[in-house]
Amino acid sequence: MRMWLQTIGWLACAVYSTIPAFWFMIHPFAERWRSQRRSPYRVLLPLWIAMWIGMALVTQPWHRITVYQTLWSWAPAIPLFAVGIFLYSRSGKNFTAQQLGGLPEVHGAHRDQRLVTDGIRSRVRHPVYLAHLCEMFAWSLGTGLAACWGLTAFAIVTGTVMIQMEDAELEQRFGEEYRAYRGRTPALLLTLRSAKPQARPRLSADGACIQYEIEGQPRWRIAIRDLVCIAEYTTAAGPRADDYFLVFATKSGLYYEAAVYCDGRDAAIDVLSEALGRTLKLGLIKSAEFASRVLWPPSLEGHPLFMRGKEKVINPEVRQLTAPRQL
């Protein structure tokens, strides 16, 4: 029985120890993976499995060497197993399977840009990585294998680098929202008290005005009757930064932006549709490059907001809507 547990523990730690290396293949090359037409996991998964085999082969000469041998070592190991399982179960709540698998980082057509800061992530920023470590420590404590302890130490070193890379990427993607979250929530040290979540940007409309708020403070507010054009545009900056926006042009020639992935968007669009007498439908959800499209007025629906190939140069057809009329 002990031999079987030692073998399982050694192989489990060999697999766990390669998880940071798996993410090392993703984070530095995210743009390259996103540019591929086929799923990058056709390459990533076989490479990761090869790492499992390689790590097992490297540590095989030491997989029977024990630092100690006692049944009492399983006493602290069992609670660690339970904590790891608990963290895994909590990590899956309010977090999609695509996010857990890294799709926003490697798939150009995937646009899941919401920063999740509630649930278990209000207590620890990287609960999945913490769960991995709990399982590795549990196997190391229980088996007493030198190979398990060595693999755990290796995972801690590489995992520290991986977390730094991921924090930097999330900061680029979400900006001040993530910096505030990182400042109040530890990376791996589980806290008993939830950090107060930061308010997300919000778009709202009441039939007369439309308003955009950031961190609970109004950024802009315009009267619906002053609108002459509503459009959407995407950039190639994702997933490391906001890359999908709504644009509201007014009679005075001013243009106001709002992130598409903000709270209240759908309700605000419904109110605008009713006020304008035209259903507004987003059409660039799957765009992974620079593109723009007018939603309203009907005469320009589907036309580009910006000149082809020229970012932020307004289409003359749209600019005419804001031009002062001569008497």
Q: Can you tell me the distance from the alpha carbon of 76 to that of 61, in angstroms, rounded to the nearest whole number? A: 27
User: Six-digit token pair at 191?
Assistant: 């806290």
User: Average pLDDT over the chain, rounded to whole?
Assistant: 84
Look up residue 247 and give its amino acid. Answer: V
**CATH number for region 202-322:** 2.30.29
At 297, the pLDDT band (50, 70, 90 cuts) reads very high
Tens-place pLDDT, residues 262-272: 888 989 999 99
The confidence score (pLDDT) of residue 8 equals 94
pLDDT at 248: 96
Residue 96, pLDDT score: 61
Q: Is the pLDDT of residue 199 over 80?
A: no
Q: What value does the mean pLDDT take over residues 187-215? A: 78
CA distance linking residue 82 with residue 72, whole number of Å: 17
Rg (CA), the chain: 25
The per-residue pLDDT for 152 is 95
Q: Which tens digit of pLDDT belongs to each residue from 128-177?
A: 999 999 999 999 999 999 999 999 999 999 999 888 888 887 777 777 67
Neighbours of 14 (CB within 10 A): 23
Q: Which two tokens stand for residue 249?
A: 């042009």
The band of 326, judged by pLDDT with boundaries at 50, 70 and 90, is: very low
Q: How far apart are CA 178 and CA 69, in angstroms?
A: 45
Residue spans of the domains in the chain: they are 2-184, 202-322
Q: Which helix (H) or strand (E) holds 225?
A: none
| Position 210 confidence tier, pLDDT thresholds 50, 70, 90 | very high
pTM as predicted: 0.59
Between CA 178 and CA 275 the distance in angstroms is 35
* Residues paired with residue 145 on neighbouring β-strands, in sequence order: 66
Type of residue numbered 204: S
**Residue 274: Cβ within 10 Å count:** 12
Cα torsion for 303, 307, 312, 315, to the nearest 10°? -60
Mean of the pLDDT values across residues 211-219?
Answer: 89
Mean pLDDT of 182-192: 75
- Least Cα distance to 24 among 54, 51, 59 occurs for 51
Query: Could you tell me the two tokens for 243?
Result: 């890359």
Confidence of residue 327 (pLDDT cuts 50, 70, 90): very low
Domain 2-184 has CATH 1.20.120: yes
Distance CA 176, CA 96 (A): 23
